[in-house]
């Protein structure tokens, strides 16, 4: 069985798996999928980068960005100069690690990290489909994909496909086939309740084919979870 998560950014992989006749199990978020991988419940998975360990058979396919990604955002009612803390989404291990790295490097102010806060003077991390829907409700937002690419000029890697056994060659061949962006966007608009044009534009900002240099760079800087 192969594992994939339900977020809109992974929808093209779902359609490819369906086209290839490969059954898969759908998880609500990347962290839930990663835990299933660690329990040995799936033979291939789109893993958050911090769950990828040495010795895992990685493909150079996944989810990355070289600029604005639209679905990894810090949102607030106040400008960043007024923030007292950051409230982070526990479902995102890669984005949380990226924020800590950006603070350490001085690219974001060093602020307390909270799981919840009643104050409006905070930056709130939204990831995935929630970020796409909530971004219009906040006047101030920072796109972490855009910020990190501006600072280091290396695409960020959020998730990587890891496989076991013969699935490596099968998935590599499958992911190299043509991607039917427009048709998939029209299909996805019914499931995710977003305009097909917005979905298409969103996917164009994602790097599904990853560079080896980017994967290695971020794997060194965001060490795997123990």
Q: Does domain 72-152 have CATH number 3.40.190.10?
A: yes
Average pLDDT over residues 6-33: 95
Instruction: Give the list of residues 6+ apart from residue 168 with CB closer than 8 angstroms, or none.
Output: 57, 59
pLDDT in tens, 101-114: 999 999 999 999 99
Do the domains 72-152 and 2-65+154-221 match in fold? Answer: yes
**To which H or E segment does residue 182 belong?**
helix 181-192
User: Which of 2-6, 56-60, 112-116 is the most confident on average?
Assistant: 2-6
Hey, where are the domains in the chain? 2-65+154-221, 72-152
37, 72, 76, 110, 132 from 137: Cα distances, Å: 35, 15, 9, 25, 10
Pairing of strands 72-76, 122-127: antiparallel
Average pLDDT over residues 46-60: 85
Q: Which fold has domain 2-65+154-221?
A: D-Maltodextrin-Binding Protein; domain 2 (3.40.190)
Distance between CA atoms of 171 and 192, rounded to whole angstroms? 25
């Amino acid at each position: 069985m192969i594992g994939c998560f339900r977020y809109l950014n992974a929808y093209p992989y779902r359609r490819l798996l369906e086209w290839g006749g490969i059954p898969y199990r759908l998880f609500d978020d990347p962290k839930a999928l990663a835990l299933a991988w660690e329990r040995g419940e799936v033979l291939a998975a789109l893993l958050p980068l911090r769950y990828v360990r040495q010795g895992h058979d990685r493909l150079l396919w996944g989810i990355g960005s070289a600029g604005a990604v639209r679905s990894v955002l810090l949102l607030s009612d106040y400008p960043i100069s007024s923030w007292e803390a950051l409230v982070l989404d526990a479902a995102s291990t890669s984005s949380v690690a990226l924020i800590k790295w950006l603070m350490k490097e001085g690219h974001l102010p060093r602020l307390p990290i909270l799981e919840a806060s009643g104050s409006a003077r905070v930056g709130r991390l939204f990831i995935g489909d929630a970020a796409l829907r909530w971004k219009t409700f906040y006047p101030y937002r920072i796109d972490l994909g855009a910020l990190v690419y501006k600072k280091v000029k290396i695409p960020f890697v959020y998730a990587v496909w890891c496989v076991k056994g013969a699935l490596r060659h099968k998935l590599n061949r499958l992911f190299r086939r043509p991607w039917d962006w427009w048709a998939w966007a029209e299909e996805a608009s019914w499931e995710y309740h977003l305009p097909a044009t917005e979905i298409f534009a969103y996917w164009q900002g994602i790097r599904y084919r990853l560079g080896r240099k980017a994967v290695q760079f971020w794997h060194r800087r965001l060490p795997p979870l123990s």
